[in-house]
Structure formats: C-alpha cells, structure tokens
C-alpha cells in the first residue's frame, strides 16, 4: 500500500470537477485544491513496480546478489529519464538499507554485450538515458521514501545511512564550487507525508551530501554544475567578443598603416608641388606592352595642360586621317598615334615639324634630331657652330662641292707609277 501511495503522490492525478458537482462543498474544495496544485511526474504508464535488477543471471532469470526496485519511473518528458524508488516503512535498519544500495551499485556496474556486440551497462540495454559528459557520467538516482509506520526514526536512520554509503554517492569537488559524480549514485530521501503534501515540485527532497532541501529535479540533477557551465559559456562568449574586437582593431590599424604608407608614396607634381589625385596617379602608372604612355608623368593634370599636354587631333583633320590600307600616305610615312613632344623643352611639335620628323616607309625619320622641336633643333645647331667654329651643314656643303668638281686626268710617267 505504501508503494501505491508513493505512485499516487508522485503522479498527482487531477480529479474531474464535473463529476463532483453533486458532492459537498468540502469535497469540491479539496478537489479544487488538488487541481490547483503543481502537476506530478509522468503518467500511470510511466511507473513499474517490483522490477528485478539482476547482478547475475538475466532479466527473466535473475541470479543471487541482485536488488528488486519497488518502483521504476521513466518520464523523460518531465525531466526524469530514469528513477529507482525504494519505499521503507521504517522497519529496516541503516545497515540493511546500505546493503540494498550496494546491490544497486553492483547492478549499475554490470556490463553485458548489447545487440550490436558492444559492452554496455546492463541497465542501458533496457532503459534509454542520455550519455553523461566527460568525467561526469553518474549512475541513475535512487529515491528513498520513508513511511513512518515502524519503530525506526528516519531522522536517525538517514545520517547513519549517509556515512555507510558515502563511497557510493560522494562526488569530486572542483574549484568552481560544484561536484562531479562520475560513476556515483545520487541518493535522495523524502518522507511520504511530505511527498503527499507538496509533490515532486516541493522543496522536500534531501540529497545525500547536500545541505538544504530541494525539489526532485534539483535533487537528481546538478544545478551547480549547470550554473558553472553557464558561467563558463558566458565567459567564453566575452572572450570571443574581446578577441573579435581585437582582430577588428588590428585590422583597422593595419588598414590605417597601409593608407599612410600609400599616401607617403603618392607622387608630387614637380611643377606646383601638389599631390597627385587618385585618378592622375592611376593615369601615370606603367601600362601594358605597347600602351600609350603619359607625356608628362611628373606633372599633375593642371600643370600638364599648361605645359601643352598631348591632345588628339580633331576628327576629319589631315592629322587624323589614316591612309587607305595597302597604300602609302601622301608623304609615304607611318602615322604616329600622338603628336610628338619635344624632349628638351616639352613643347608640342608644330604641324610642319611633326611632318618633317615623320618616318618614311620602314626607315627612320629623315630629320637628324626627330625628338626635338624646330626651335630646339636650331639652338642645337647654333651650339655646334660655337663649339667647332664650322657648322656641320657647312661641312656637308663643302663635301658636296668637292664631289661635284671633276678630277683631272694624270698622264705621263706619273700616271704609270700610279698604276
């Protein structure tokens, strides 16, 4: 009967108020209080009674040395994947209860081959429970329900039982203040009267090794470990955010450094001293093979225009017209893509000078200094006259006159000597 009362206290079924309409006010008030109270755990199908836990033998033919659970509860939908319940009418001593818990421990430690051929704890071949975390895989919890009908006082039995079973339930304390319960049995104690009054949600459950009473879910779980994990996750998020902020700061500093280095490399106009704009800087960059080069790469755009920047001839002008394919132009020259610029003074060629320095056919330009404009070419001739006293052109005219005078025919014996 105590086992059945324990199941009802854990299940906490709700009465149907419609069927109590004709009952007395006291009955309806008690039923309403049951309806308003916290829900229980699981359904009637979640409970099994008198379940063998064989330390030897099989499920159907258990051997000696095993235990027999009064109640087995499986309600994963309510946060209780597996719970073994032992009901004591206060007739057993602390030593007898400790011996029963030792049998639970032998059953939990028993390994058998599962259907896939792998070794697993025997209890896992029948019940499904989530795997534990690294270094923290406790055994299923055991709930001791004391029904005070016998001569034993649970207030004296429980402390003695804690000392006798310390090796079964005591966990490993970590610096964070929580414990690890790897291969340990969570053992919880509660009175049946308190369980009837408050149900599983009431703070009436005392877990061995802990101070104050807790709810059932807190008692079978590890709230301090969960709080420590939550703090660790929060700290990890803070560290990750700080790391990302450091990466962004480093990227910004790197970008600023690269921008400063690029600004330091920005060309400066030799004419006015102003820095090149991005467009002008891009325009003077070396291009591919055969691409047209800028005429004044050392000048900004404004100074380039003042210095006579190269401008393509207007359409339908003689300079822009191209000879028919396969035929030579009017002067049999190959047209250059742009108007030349004097390499000495930077001035653009006049039409006459441009025409005079154009290449003829596949040969070179007939002008001696095709890279100079007309004025610079004349100054170059004048400098030669001053340096040598005789103009090279005068020397060429003298040579031409010498070639034009016919040579006299030599006769006599001198002519024979020349032969």
Residues 158 and 164: their CA atoms lie apart, in Å, by 10
pLDDT at 311 (0 to 100) = 45
83-139 pLDDT per residue, tens: 999 999 999 999 999 999 999 999 999 999 998 999 999 999 999 999 887 778 899
Which tens digit of pLDDT belongs to each residue from 292-314? 788 888 899 888 888 864 444 44
Give pLDDT tens digits for 49-69: 999 999 999 999 999 889 999
Axis-axis angle for helices 154-164, 94-109 (nearest 10)? 40
Rounded to two decimals, what is the model's pTM?
A: 0.60
pLDDT for 186-213, tens place per residue?
Answer: 999 999 999 999 999 999 999 999 988 9
Q: What is the pLDDT of residues 158-185, one digit of tens each?
A: 999 999 999 999 999 888 788 889 999 9
> Which pLDDT does position 155 carry in this prediction?
93
How many CA within 13 A on the CB side of residue 238? 6
Give Cα 206 to chain centroid, integer Å.
45
Give the model's confidence band at 328: pLDDT under 50 very low, under 70 low, under 90 confident, else very high: very low
**Residue-wise pLDDT tens digits, 248-272:** 999 999 999 999 999 999 999 988 9
Confidence of residue 38 (pLDDT cuts 50, 70, 90): confident
Q: Quote the tokens at residue 310.
A: 């190269």
DSSP tag of 198: H
Give dist(CA 146, CA 166) in Å, integer.
20
Neighbours of 41 (CB within 10 A): 21
Residue range 13-28: mean pLDDT, rounded: 77
Q: What is the pLDDT of residue 367?
A: 73
Mean pLDDT of 311-322: 49
pLDDT top residue among 385 and 132: 132
DSSP 67-101: EEEEEEEEEGGGTEEEEEEEEE-S-S-HHHHHHHH
Residue 331 predicted with pLDDT over 90: no
**Is residue 40's pLDDT more than 80?**
yes
End-to-end CA distance of the chain: 158
Q: Which pair of structure tokens corresponds to residue 117?
A: 């051929």
Q: Is residue 407 pLDDT above 60, yes or no?
A: no
* pLDDT at site 398: 59
Rg of the chain's alpha carbons, rounded to an integer? 54
In terms of pLDDT, which residue wins out, 250 or 29?
A: 250
Mean pLDDT for the chain?
A: 83
Identify the pLDDT of residue 383.
Answer: 67
């Amino acid at each position: 009967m105590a086992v059945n009362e324990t199941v009802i206290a854990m299940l906490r079924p709700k009465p149907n108020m419609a069927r109590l309409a004709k009952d007395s006010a006291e009955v309806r008030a008690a039923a309403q209080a049951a309806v308003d109270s916290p829900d229980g755990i699981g359904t009637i199908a979640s409970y099994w009674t008198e379940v063998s836990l064989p330390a030897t033998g099989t499920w159907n033919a258990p051997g000696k040395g095993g235990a027999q659970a009064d109640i087995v509860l499986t309600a994963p939908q309510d946060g209780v994947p597996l719970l073994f319940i032992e009901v004591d009418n206060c007739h057993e001593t602390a030593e007898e209860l400790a011996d029963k818990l030792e049998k639970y421990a032998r059953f939990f430690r028993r390994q058998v081959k599962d259907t896939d051929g792998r070794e697993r704890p025997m209890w896992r071949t029948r019940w499904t429970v989530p795997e534990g975390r690294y270094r923290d895989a406790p055994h299923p919890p055991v709930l001791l329900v004391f029904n005070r009908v016998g001569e034993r006082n649970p207030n004296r039995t429980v402390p003695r039982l804690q000392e006798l079973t310390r090796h079964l339930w005591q966990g490993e304390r970590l610096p964070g203040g929580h414990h690890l319960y790897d291969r340990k049995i969570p053992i919880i104690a509660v009175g049946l009267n308190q369980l009837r009054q408050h149900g599983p949600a009431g703070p009436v459950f005392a877990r061995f090794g802990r101070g104050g009473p807790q709810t059932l879910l807190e008692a079978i779980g590890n709230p301090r470990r969960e709080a420590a994990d939550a703090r660790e996750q929060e700290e990890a998020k803070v560290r990750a955010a700080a790391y990302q902020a450091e990466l962004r700061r480093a990227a910004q500093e790197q970008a600023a450094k690269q921008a400063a280095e690029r600004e330091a490399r920005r060309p400066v106009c030799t004419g006015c001293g102003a820095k090149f704009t991005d467009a002008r800087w891009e325009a003077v960059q070396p291009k591919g093979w055969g691409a047209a080069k800028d005429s004044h790469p050392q000048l900004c755009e404004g100074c380039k225009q003042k210095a006579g920047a190269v401008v393509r001839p207007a359409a339908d002008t003689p300079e822009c017209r191209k000879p028919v394919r396969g035929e030579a132009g009017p002067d049999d020259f190959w047209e250059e893509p742009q108007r030349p610029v004097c390499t000495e003074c930077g001035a653009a060629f006049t039409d006459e000078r441009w025409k005079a320095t154009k290449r003829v056919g596949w040969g070179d330009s007939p002008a001696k200094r095709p890279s100079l404009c007309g004025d610079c070419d004349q100054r170059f001739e004048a400098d030669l006259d001053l340096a040598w006293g005789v103009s090279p052109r005068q020397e060429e005219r003298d040579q031409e006159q010498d070639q034009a005078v016919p040579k006299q025919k030599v006769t006599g014996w001198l002519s024979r000597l020349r032969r």
